[in-house]
């Protein structure tokens, strides 16, 4: 449906794909692994060209979406697919910060990212723009849930055919939030890692654009915008410490890459940013390797309510370890009960309803503060990457219930009295 862009017209700033190990170089094709080392491929840029093209002013005058950073993204199109993704709020926390004992805490709120309420809309906007440039007419993904939502929605917007693969046991909200866009949905009886393996076979034989397989080098660059936006929203400054969730580890490494690129082209002053990562205990291969001082990942079988980050064999695990270690960060894990407490804590203190991945991140933030691994004086940014309305079953049974009353004043007053008594009893229980 769309024509591939001839290489000669690519005036863009991205120049080649380079293997993350050994540096073998490749043309800008829909490929993602080095044929020699089997390492992932990464997009490289001409930073002198970017420096000539952008300034703080030109970025600030750009679209109110990730495309204000187009010079840093691997697309050639003049008109990338813009569904309003990005530029989500960076909230200065008061109540959560006080609760945790932090002086300066910010919440990057991708629970309200457009159009499907998770950070995945960023990576998919980039991947599908690139898919269109390559001339793919069918796009696909192996998903833990949010990616299927994003791919289906943005493919619908762009008029691309779409077939997505998910584990069969996903939350109802994630399944419905994909089906509504009318893609083909394959619910695979297996975990994400099995879904991913199947998709690698399909990608090799069907000639589809898989956003997180053959388009992965382009896709993953979209996550840099979570670094760019935070730097811009802090007034063109880098924070001291960030905490973000880890699934494949890609997002985490790309926030770091985003900060570095802004330094490289002179948009922000250089500063050491500590990068800390969050995993669910029931799927924590990167956190385990971090704690044991290993630089390789031992795959695990996921067993956690945090399904959106349940990747047992994380492709970017070793690179995430490297980022955490070289920046002086940490990678911690929390159990399912702590994840639910994290969801509730963020909701009660800041009015933000996040999904299980966000609960994981908040609970890890709390743990790192308690362990003294985040200094109260550090300017800290916590990344909330998804929306709680999609994982309602996780908190079902851990929240209150409405007080059902007759449409009469005395019924209301009796119920109010009862609820106040209950509150007092709860407080007494807390105190004894
Ligand atoms: C996919 C996902 C992540 C992590 O993504 P990776 O880049 O694979 O580490 C974090 N949070 C949410 C809500 C996600 O859907």
CA atoms within 13 Å, Cβ hemisphere of 127: 31
pLDDT of residue 430: 63
H-helix or E-strand containing 195?
Answer: helix 192-206
CA dihedral 57, 59, 65, 71 (to 10 degrees): 170
pTM over 0.85: yes
Instruction: Provide the 3-class DSSP secondary structure of residue 353.
Output: coil
Closest residue by CA, ligand 1 atom 12: 385
> How many C-beta atoms lie closer than 10 Å to residue 26's C-beta?
16
Q: Which atom of ligand 1 is nearest to the CA of 250?
A: 7
Q: Is the omega angle on the peptide bond into residue 115 within 30 degrees of 0, that is, cis?
A: yes
- Rounded CA-CA distance 243/231 in Å is 15
For residue 244, the CA-to-ligand 1 centroid distance in Å is 9
- SS3 for 301-340 is CCCCCCHHHCCCCCCCHHHHHHHHHHHCCCEEEECHHHHH
Instruction: Decide: 382 and 366 in contact? Cβ < 8 Å.
Output: no
- Rounded CA-CA distance 387/347 in Å is 11
Closest residue by CA, ligand 1 atom 11: 385
Assign domain 90-117+222-394 to a CATH class. Answer: alpha beta
- Rounded CA-CA distance 164/120 in Å is 14
Counting Cβ atoms within 10 Å, is residue 151 exposed (0-12), middle (13-18) or buried (19+)?
Answer: buried
Instruction: Provide the 3-class DSSP secondary structure of residue 401.
Output: coil
pLDDT of residue 9: 40
> Six-digit token pair at 19?
């293997």
- Rounded CA-CA distance 161/377 in Å is 50
For residue 147, the CA-to-ligand 1 centroid distance in Å is 8
pLDDT of residue 3: 44
Q: Which atom of ligand 1 is nearest to the CA of 247?
A: 9
For residue 406, the CA-to-ligand 1 centroid distance in Å is 45
For residue 362, the CA-to-ligand 1 centroid distance in Å is 15
**CB-based pocket (< 6 A), ligand 1:** 118, 120, 146, 245-252, 308-309, 355, 357, 385-386
User: What is the mean pLDDT for each group of 10 consecutive residues in the chain (432 residues)?
Assistant: 40 91 95 95 97 96 97 96 98 98 98 98 98 97 96 98 96 96 97 94 94 97 98 98 98 98 98 98 98 97 96 97 98 98 98 98 98 98 98 95 96 95 76 58
Closest residue by CA, ligand 1 atom 10: 245
pLDDT of residue 11: 60
Q: Which atom of ligand 1 is nearest to the CA of 320?
A: 9
The length of the chain is 432
User: What residues are paired with 118 via a beta bridge?
Assistant: 386
Q: Which atom of ligand 1 is nearest to the CA of 252?
A: 9
Closest residue by CA, ligand 1 atom 5: 247
Q: Which atom of ligand 1 is nearest to the CA of 223?
A: 7
CA distances in angstroms from 185 to 151, 166, 196, 358, 396, listed in the order given:
11, 7, 14, 26, 26
Q: Which atom of ligand 1 is nearest to the CA of 123?
A: 7
Domain boundaries, the chain: 90-117+222-394
pLDDT of residue 423: 81
- Rounded CA-CA distance 81/63 in Å is 12
CB neighbour burial string for 215-236, b if at least 16 within 10 angstroms, e if fewer? bbbbbbbbbbbbbbbbbbbbee
For residue 251, the CA-to-ligand 1 centroid distance in Å is 7
For residue 358, the CA-to-ligand 1 centroid distance in Å is 10
Q: Which atom of ligand 1 is nearest to the CA of 311?
A: 8
**DSSP for residue 6:** P
> Six-digit token pair at 80?
């990338």
For residue 421, the CA-to-ligand 1 centroid distance in Å is 42
pLDDT of residue 5: 41
């Amino acid at each position: 449906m769309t024509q591939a862009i001839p290489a000669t017209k690519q005036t863009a700033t991205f120049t080649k794909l380079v293997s993350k190990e050994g540096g073998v170089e490749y043309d800008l094709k829909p490929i993602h692994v080095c044929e020699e080392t089997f390492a992932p491929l990464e997009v490289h840029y001409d930073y002198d060209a970017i420096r000539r093209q952008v300034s703080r002013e030109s970025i600030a005058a750009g679209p109110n979406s990730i495309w204000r950073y187009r010079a840093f993204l691997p697309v050639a199109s003049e008109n990338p697919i813009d569904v309003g993704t990005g530029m989500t709020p960076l909230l200065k926390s008061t109540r959560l910060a006080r609760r945790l004992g932090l002086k300066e805490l910010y919440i990057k709120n991708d629970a309200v990212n457009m159009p499907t309420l998770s950070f995945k809309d960023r990576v998919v906007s980039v991947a599908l723009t690139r898919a269109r440039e390559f001339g793919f007419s069918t796009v696909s993904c192996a998903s833990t849930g949010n990616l299927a939502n994003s791919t289906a929605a943005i493919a619908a917007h762009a008029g691309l055919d779409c077939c997505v693969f998910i584990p069969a046991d996903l939350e109802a909200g994630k399944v419905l939030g994909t089906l509504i866009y009318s893609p083909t949905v394959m619910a695979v009886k297996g975990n994400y890692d099995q879904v991913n393996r199947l998709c690698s076979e399909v990608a090799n034989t069907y000639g589809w654009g898989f956003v997180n397989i053959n388009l992965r080098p382009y896709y993953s660059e979209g996550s840099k915008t979570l670094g760019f936006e935070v730097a811009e929203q802090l007034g063109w400054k880098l924070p001291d410490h960030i905490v973000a969730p880890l699934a494949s580890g890609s997002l985490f490494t790309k926030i770091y890459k985003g900060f570095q690129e802004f330094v490289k082209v002179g948009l922000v002053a250089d500063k050491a940013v500590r990068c800390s990562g969050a995993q669910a205990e029931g799927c924590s291969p990167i956190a385990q390797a971090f704690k044991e001082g290993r630089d390789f990942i031992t795959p695990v079988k996921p067993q956690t309510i945090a399904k959106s980050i349940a990747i047992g064999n994380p492709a970017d695990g070793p690179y995430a370890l490297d980022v955490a270690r070289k920046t002086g960060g940490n990678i911690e894990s929390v159990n399912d009960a702590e994840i639910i407490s994290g969801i509730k804590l963020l909701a009660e203190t800041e009015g933000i309803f996040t999904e299980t991945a966000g609960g994981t991140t908040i609970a890890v933030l709390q743990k790192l503060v308690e362990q003294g691994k985040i200094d109260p004086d550090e300017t800290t940014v916590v990344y909330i990457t998804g929306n709680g309305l999609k994982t309602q079953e996780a908190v079902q049974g851990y929240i209150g219930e409405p007080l059902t009353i007759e449409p009469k004043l005395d019924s209301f007053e009796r119920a109010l009295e009862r609820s106040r008594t209950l509150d007092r009893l709860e407080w007494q229980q807390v105190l004894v």
